[in-house]
Amino acid sequence: MKSIKVYGPGCKRCETTADMVRNAASALGLEVEVEKVTDPREIAMAGVMSTPGISVDGKLVHAGGLPDTSKLEGWLKG
């Protein structure tokens, strides 16, 4: 099971990003654990300068704006 973190203050884009992660994982038949990180200190420590950010198994793969669906699927498969 992949561990996914979505970094952001809880804004609409961050919620949408978390939903996109869940939907992409479901479409791929993957089990994922999605954790939303809203603490500004944790967001900064993860290296996210612009939200929403996404990490997959501890590796930051995206920051700023909604992710591209095909890229998201690639990160989940990888």
Give the residue among 7, 12, 15 at the shortest CA–CA distance from 45. 7
Active-site hit among 4, 6, 14, 25: 14
Is position 14 annotated as part of the catalytic site? Answer: yes
Active-site hit among 3, 11, 26, 50: 11
Give the strand pairing for 32-37 and 2-7: parallel
Which pair of tokens denotes residue 67?
A: 């992710």
Please list the active-site residues.
11, 14
